[in-house]
Amino acid sequence: MEQKSRGRFIVFEGIDGAGKTTQIELLEKRLKEQGRRVFRTAEPTESVTGGMLRDALAGISKRTACEMAALFTLDRIFHNVNPVHGIEKMLADGIDVICDRYYYSTLAYQGSEIRGDWAFDMNLNCPEIRRPDVCLFLDLTPEQSMERISKGRVTQEIYETHEKLEQVRRKFYSVFERLDEEEHIVIVDASKSIDEIAEEIYLIVNTLGIR
Ligand code: TYD
């Protein structure tokens, strides 16, 4: 019997304004043109837990950093094991999975607010949370990011945004440093042209091979 090869699990993370959505769409299109089947997905997901997360992100409900980390992690487990359209099911069917945000976001956003290694352990030691084949981090300096996202704001708001962007970027970098030995993480210079970035990403994905 013919052995079906597993799909590839590709995660995108990125700084605000780095063009994550554009690049995800372009990669999906190119992989499909190559004849591959692609499943595009994102976190938080559309699950009940995902809804709770969206309410909290929108400020409708208030949650602590541990509650948020636990909810994101639970949502991620469903995302992996859902028998109908979970990540595991798709990969097993030979479909490439492109996921917009994954545990790197939990480690950067929630992890930095929680003392100790709990958020790391919960995500990286969970047998039902798969490690991606590659994490593509679309990187911009806070200046570049602001140039793209902020137009016509007052000075103080610009400073606040700058500080926040700097902080988030630092957090992602420290997460990547920590995972450097055990994972395939690529920092992509998102200040290049859309086509250049798309080409770079396409080449990286094609070196992943198909198992
Ligand atoms: P979303 O509106 O989907 O935006 P984006 O285009 O920025 O990806 O919002 C997702 C938000 O959730 C984003 O602000 C980051 C946050 N988030 C976490 O804080 N932790 C997580 O684990 C994940 C997956 C997302």
What are the backbone dihedrals phi and psi of residue 95, each rounded to the nearest 5 degrees, phi first?
-95, 135
Tokens of 144: 């570049």
CA of 117 to the centre of ligand 1 (A): 21
φ, ψ for residue 67, nearest 5 deg: -60, -45
Task: Note whether residue 2 is domain-resident.
Answer: no
- pLDDT one-digit tens code per residue, 172-201: 999 999 999 999 999 999 999 999 999 999
Q: How far, in Å, from the CA of 83 to the mean position of ligand 1? A: 24
Burial class (CB in 10 A: 0-12, 13-18, 19+), 111: buried
- Centroid of ligand 1 to alpha carbon of 3 (angstroms): 37
Alpha-carbon distance of 47 to 122, in angstroms, equals 20
4 in any annotated domain? no
CATH code of the domain in which 66 resides: 3.40.50.300
- Cα–ligand 1 centroid distance for 8 (angstroms): 22
pLDDT for the residue numbered 147: 87
pTM, two decimals, is 0.94
Give the closest residue (by CA) to ligand 1 atom 23. Answer: 105
* Block mean pLDDT (10 aa), the chain, length 211: 82 93 98 97 98 96 97 98 97 98 97 94 98 98 86 60 91 97 97 98 90 49
Is 99 a member of any domain?
yes
| Mutation choice for ligand 1 from 13, 40, 55, 57, CB with most ligand atoms inside 8 A | 57
Report the nearest atom of ligand 1 relative to the CA of 20: 6
Residue nearest to atom 16 of ligand 1 (CA): 105
Which stretch of DSSP H or E encloses residue 39?
strand 38-42
Residue 3 lies in a domain: no
Ligand 1-lining residues (CB < 6 angstroms): 43-44, 57, 72, 100-101, 105-106, 109-110
Average pLDDT, the chain: 93
Cα angle for residues 85, 89, 94 (degrees, 5° grid)? 115
Give the pLDDT of residue 154.
56
Cα angle: 34, vertex 35, 37; to 5 degrees:
115
Kindly state the tokens that stand for 137: 């981090």
pLDDT, tens digit (0-9, with 9 covering 90-100), for 27-56: 999 999 999 999 999 999 999 999 999 999
Q: What is the number of domains present in the chain?
A: 1
Task: Please give the residue range of the domain that contains residue 38.
Answer: 9-206
CA of 50 to the centre of ligand 1 (A): 11
13 near 135, Cβ under 8 Å?
A: yes
Contact assessment for residue 6 and residue 210, using Cβ atoms and an 8 Å cutoff: yes
Mutation pick for ligand 1 pocket among 13, 52, 74, 109 (CB with most ligand atoms within 8 Å): 109
Evaluate whether residue 1 is within a structural domain. no
The closest-lying atom of ligand 1 relative to the alpha carbon of residue 73 is 22
Does 211 map to a domain?
no
Whether residue 158 lies inside any domain: the answer is yes
Helix (H, G, I), strand (E, B) or coil at 75: helix
Does 140 reside within a domain? Answer: yes
What's the CA gap between 119 and 107, in Å, rounded? Answer: 6
Which residues, in sequence order, are CB contacts of 111 under 8 Å at separation 6+? Answer: 69, 119, 120, 171, 175
- Report pLDDT for 16: 84
Q: What is the pLDDT of residue 155?
A: 60
